[in-house]
Chains A and B, each alone.
Chain A
Amino acid sequence: MTYFFQLVVSGIVVGSIYALAGLGFVLIYKSSRVLNIAHGQIIAAGAFITYALTVWLKVPLYLAFFLSMGLTFFLAMSVERVFLRRLIGEPIISVIMVTIGLMSILDGLIYLTPFGTVNYSFPEFFPKTPVDFHGVSISWTQLVGVTITFLLIALFSWFFKRSTVGISMRAVSDDQLASMSVGISVPRVFGLAWALAGMSAAAAGGIIGNITGLNFETLHAFGIIVFPVVILGGLDSIIGAVVAGIIMGLIQQFAAGYLDGHWGLNGTKDVLPYVILLIILLFKPHGLFGTHEIERV
């Protein structure tokens, strides 16, 4: 039974980090219907900024973590202002193509820094001894990561449900023309959505970087790895990202724990989440919590 609970804990840890990493996709899609393909690069940039602040500028880790969230807030906002603002009203495919170009630009910029080709690791801030509960262990890095993830997700959920700005962002997502007619600045909402997505990406980067070490290829790959999570959850649902993230995390851990290595099976942990994703999408094409848009003609 301990083994089972260990897999549950590991699944929740992995799943909640997926959810945080996928949050950026949701925030941008929710307000602008755009898929940001360069999200992985922003995750990596966030991790590198946190490292640079902590190790090179000797800023305490917690402060560096929040500072990097602040910096990526402005970085992502600038990206939206420079590259995407002009594309408001243009076909979605054009905007997505721009984010693909943006991915290459950010790649190139990161390769100009030492982080592009050199591996780094955060200093070991947390105690090495894991938290142990009746044989079920979780490292301090994971525990802090999961706590931050849930705090941020709760904060974003509150922001979208209760705050005036959040509500105006949801309004823009529902109907841009109607939003403009009641005085909401659509460009400003888009900028804010990108900025918040950048902020969440930095948080995800900091947490993933603490777990895996700072390797650019590994970090930016998470932009793609979490894509099935947001599809499953529904592209415009924060709660969907959380639930789908945890479902994916649990499936991976149970597949690795109970299927891989038995009956000649191997690699099911990488395949099974996609199989389940396909099955769920057959019945719920907009994902578990995605908005089902009804167009009346």
Chain B
Amino acid sequence: MKHQHKWMIQVLVALILCLAMAAPSCAAEKYKLALSLAITGPTSDAGAPYSKGVEDYIRYVNDTKMFKDAVVECPIRDDQYQTDITKRNFEEFLSDGIVLYLNYSTGSTLALKKDFEEEKIPVIPASFHAGNLEDSHYIFLPIATYSSQCIGLAEYIAANNKGGTPQVAMFIHPSAFGRGPVDDLKKAIAAGLKMDMVEVVEHGKDLDNTAMLQRLLSKKVRYVICQTVQSPVATLLKDAQRLGVIAKTFGEDGKLTFVGAHYTGGNDLIELAGSAAEGFYWTTSYTLTSEPGPGTDFQLMLAKKYSRDDKTANSHNYTNGMMVAQLAVETIRRVKAKNLKVTRENLYNELNAMNGANSYSPGNTVGPVTYSPTDHAGVDTLQIYSVQKGVFKAVGKPFVPKFAK
């Protein structure tokens, strides 16, 4: 009996060893990405749909077996917009062997820049802060920087202003995210962009902007460029509507025309500001579901496939997350197409080679993604949109801001 028992244990151990040795050859190859972002806490109204965009596209890639037996893994972790949590998440992702990292906020991207350099890992953040690219080799912005966006808006103002030099104010978030484009816009003005920067206003949690709006009008300001998030812009627009100072036509004399960069706009602004959002001008590099096309059809299909609600499906932050995942997956595909191993280094080289004939069009941007060793801002093209009858509609054709270079 004792002998039989020993024999059974030996068989069991042998079986376990066989299975363990066979496991690596049976297991699907895994390409490990990771995302840390604010699903709760400040800016989670943007972070939540962004994370769903990433999650859905990665699920789609695996469900449709885009890489046959290989799978893409992309764990998503909430960092509550706190850099220390982002850093902890990033370090844990590194120990899991990720080859490409998706980050979120301006603050954490700037704080972890040195870590990205040391680890030599390509990073695609949701922050389009131009400062992310300074002294950095591994950060790749998906679309035009906030600075480019503000300069693009300023160029649009200069081109469409009637009579004299346009008087402009900036309404910005009190952080690096908000302040980033101010100096770049001032440089563009110094380089010949025809406009006067009258004032830069950093907002707080304001319940009433009457004094500020009246002051800007008294200084003959006609345009307000907003570089912040939707909520303060909504309050600003509501106050401007109450005071009757929103321009009915672009640049109307004696009134204010409000324009804003990527994170000021989208359906959330219309939701928060209601009718006061009418006539607000906004720029981004993404296509919108209110302007249907093949890219937006795919987006809506994806959202429907994974049972997302209408608000998420039509959110430009969902597009944003989806596009970043598309970009990461496309880079992996290109590396594999060259029969190379999917490593950090090969992904980095492939991203740097994404230009000219190799540029990438994900379908939901108004221009192609182009990178080079000296240019890590993805889509350079911008589209101006304005709120017309409660939805954002395209105004004019996509363009690349001349003064952004």
Contacts and interface: CB of A to CB of B under 8 A. Distances in A.
B39 A218 contact: no
A256 B311 contact: no
B210 A7 contact: yes
B108 interface: no
A214 B235 CA distance: 11
Question: Is chain A's interface secondary structure helix, strand, loop, or mixed overall?
Answer: helix
A111 B40 contact: yes
A140 B210 CA distance: 15
A267 interface: yes
A49 interface: no
A222 interface: yes
Contacts of B242: 130, 137-139, 142
B200 A266 contact: yes
B211 A14 contact: no
A260 B403 CA distance: 30
B230 interface: yes
B274 interface: yes
B255 interface: no
A119 B45 contact: yes
Interface stretch (B3-11, B109-117, B159-167, B201-209): B201-209
B40 A116 contact: yes
Contacts of B209: 256
A61 to B, nearest CB: 15
Contacts of A211: 207-208, 235, 238
Contacts of A137: 242-244
A7 B211 contact: yes
A13 interface: yes
A118 interface: yes
B354 to A, nearest CB: 32
A117 B234 contact: no
B210 A10 contact: yes
A253 B207 CA distance: 10
- Tell me which of B200, B271, B273 has the highest count of chain A C-beta atoms within 10 A of its own C-beta: B271
Interface in A249-273: 253-254, 256-257, 260-261, 266-267, 269-270
Interface stretch (B16-24, B95-103, B212-220, B379-387): B212-220
- Tell me which of B43, B204, B210, B241 has the highest count of chain A C-beta atoms within 10 A of its own C-beta: B210
Contact of A215 (B45, B48, B202, B208): B45
Contacts of A107: 40
Interface string B37-57: 001111111011100000000
B48 A118 contact: yes
Interface string A197-216: 00000000000100111111
Interface residues of B, number: 43
Given A6-B210, A117-B47, A257-B215, A267 B202 contact: yes
B199 interface: yes
B355 interface: no
A124 interface: yes
B79 interface: no
Interface string A147-171: 0000000000000000000000000
A3 interface: yes
A217 to B, nearest CB: 5
Given A111-B40, A121-B271, A260 B212 contact: yes
B268 interface: yes
A212 B235 contact: yes
A10 B208 contact: yes
A180 interface: no
Given A117-B39, A117-B40, A119-B268, A213 B231 contact: yes
B275 interface: yes
- Tell me which of A116, A120, A130, A256 has the highest count of chain B C-beta atoms within 10 A of its own C-beta: A256
A261 B212 CA distance: 9
- Tell me which of A17, A218, A260 has the highest count of chain B C-beta atoms within 10 A of its own C-beta: A218
14 contacts: A17-B207, A117-B39, A117-B44, A120-B271, A130-B244, A137-B242, A211-B208, A212-B207, A215-B45, A216-B45, A217-B231, A253-B208, A253-B210, A261-B199
Interface of B: 39-45, 47-49, 174, 199-202, 204-205, 207-212, 214-216, 219, 230-231, 234-235, 238, 241-244, 268, 271-275, 311
Interface of A: 3, 6-7, 10, 13-14, 17, 107-108, 111, 116-121, 124, 128, 130, 137-139, 142, 208, 211-218, 221-222, 225, 253-254, 256-257, 260-261, 266-267, 269-270
Q: Closest 5 CB pairs between A and B?
A: A213-B272, A256-B211, A257-B211, A117-B48, A10-B210
Given A121-B271, A142-B242, A257-B214, 11 more contacts: A3-B214, A14-B207, A121-B274, A130-B242, A213-B273, A215-B230, A217-B42, A221-B205, A254-B211, A256-B211, A261-B215
